[in-house]
A and B are shown apart, each in its own frame.
Chain A
Amino acid sequence: MKLIRQLGLLALILFVSEGAVQLFSLPIPANVLGMVLLFVLLCTGVVKEDDIRETADFFYQNMAFFLVPVTCGLLVEAGQLGGSALAFILIALVSTVAVYLVTGRAVLLLQKLPRKGARR
């Protein structure tokens, strides 16, 4: 019963989020809004950790599984690129590495800035 209840809660959060996005023409996707909503619900105590822990852990541990079908579909589409495929891939790759580098080092740098309270 616990899993059913937790799935129901997640479904409700997503349903409300989808509704909000459509109703108010929000520029953010429903799943991101849902994440924010759940965070708020947890912080305010409306939803307790115990109310979603098992399901959350399941999805967390196995997240990549849910991405498999979409990724397979991509390889089917890859043919569209033709000759530009190599350039496309290289740009995506180098840019991704750059984003990791800049983001990671920037966080580390900003963490060293003096402010009240310890870093960790």
Chain B
Amino acid sequence: MNLSALWQSPFFGIGLTALTYFAGAQLLKRRRIPFLTPFLISVLLVCLLLGITGIPYESYNEGGSLISEFMAPATVILALPVYRQRELLKRNLLPVVGGIFLGVLCSYFSTFLLSLLFGVRGELFLSLLPHSVTTPIATALSGQIGGVSSLTILGLMISGNLGAMLLPLMRKLFRVHDPVAHGVATGNCSHVIGTATVAAEGEVEGAFSGLSIGVAGLITVLLVPLLLKGVSL
């Protein structure tokens, strides 16, 4: 009897993800542990299990990929919180767009300067450059400028996850108390993971975070020709 095929059942992947996520939520129900979220707990438990049992990621991903497909509708529905907050958006249009634009510029300049400082060059640098925009745009951009898309996704995930973990700290440290500003800043630096994190805090934060992902993406796309010129220098 060949058991390895059993681990390729989509229900293994789906069940494992759902149950570990639920376990994480239960654990954190009564006490807040800094930096931990059900998401992080789920990721750690899944990786731990796969590592210990030696079940290949591909088998897990038979179910995992089905879950991943639903990242798309999860992004689309962000339109509803934005719609509900449209009055607030109208009143804050310039601050929002201006803030995102400056943040996008900051992303490229800071990545460039830091890479110079740490001696990260070539493909690695190019892959790291788009780490502040959402995955599909980042990988497309990376391809255009000569990066490696899997490394770009890695950089993105690091930004997204570490950024999300540091959100409460950064908010306090940089005194970004206004929910609109916090939401916009979150979406810009930590995209979907950040949005998912602030969604728990309120609709304003979540709405503006989601909006920020979209706007930052659009701005990035528009800036690409300039970026390409800069990169070729």
Residues of chain A at the chain B interface (Cβ within 8 Å):
7, 10-11, 13-14, 17, 27-32, 34-39, 42-43, 49, 52-53, 55-56, 59-61, 63-78, 80-81, 84, 87-111, 113, 115, 117-120
Decide yes or no whether B228 CB sits under 8 A from chain A: no
By a CB distance below 8 angstroms, the chain A residues around B38 are 64-65
Decide yes or no whether B146 CB sits under 8 A from chain A: no
**A91 CA to B218 CA in the complex, in Å?**
24
| B71 contacts A110, C-beta separation under 8 Å | no
Decide yes or no whether B57 CB sits under 8 A from chain A: yes
**A58 CA to B83 CA in the complex, in Å?**
17
Decide yes or no whether B42 CB sits under 8 A from chain A: yes
Contacts A77-B150, A95-B114 given; indicate if A107 touches B99 (C-beta within 8 A): yes
Contacts A60-B199, A105-B174, A111-B181 given; indicate if A92 touches B155 (C-beta within 8 A): yes
Decide yes or no whether B153 CB sits under 8 A from chain A: yes
By a CB distance below 8 angstroms, the chain B residues around A66 are 67-68, 70-71, 74
Task: Across the interface, name the chain A residue whose C-beta is closest to B14.
Answer: A69
| B134 contacts A29, C-beta separation under 8 Å | yes
**A13 CA to B65 CA in the complex, in Å?**
21
User: How far in angstroms is the closest Cβ of chain A from B168?
Assistant: 12
Interface flags for B12-54 (1: CB within 8 Å of A; 0: not) read 0100011011000000000000000111001100110010000
| B91 contacts A120, C-beta separation under 8 Å | yes
Decide yes or no whether B231 CB sits under 8 A from chain A: no
| B159 contacts A92, C-beta separation under 8 Å | yes
| B189 contacts A88, C-beta separation under 8 Å | no
| B110 contacts A70, C-beta separation under 8 Å | no
By a CB distance below 8 angstroms, the chain B residues around A67 are 39, 71, 192-193, 196
Q: A66-B71, A111-B181 are in contact. List 12 more A-B contacts (CB 8 A).
A: A28-B137, A32-B217, A34-B76, A38-B77, A53-B80, A63-B199, A71-B43, A73-B64, A93-B162, A100-B185, A101-B170, A111-B180
| B120 contacts A108, C-beta separation under 8 Å | no
Contacts A59-B74, A69-B13, A72-B50 given; indicate if A104 touches B120 (C-beta within 8 A): no
By a CB distance below 8 angstroms, the chain A residues around B142 are none
Task: Across the interface, name the chain A residue whose C-beta is closest to B115.
Answer: A91
| A68 contacts B42, C-beta separation under 8 Å | yes
15 residue pairs bridging A and B, Cβ less than 8 Å apart: A31-B75, A32-B137, A32-B213, A49-B83, A65-B38, A65-B42, A77-B153, A87-B120, A90-B118, A95-B110, A96-B159, A102-B103, A103-B100, A111-B92, A111-B178
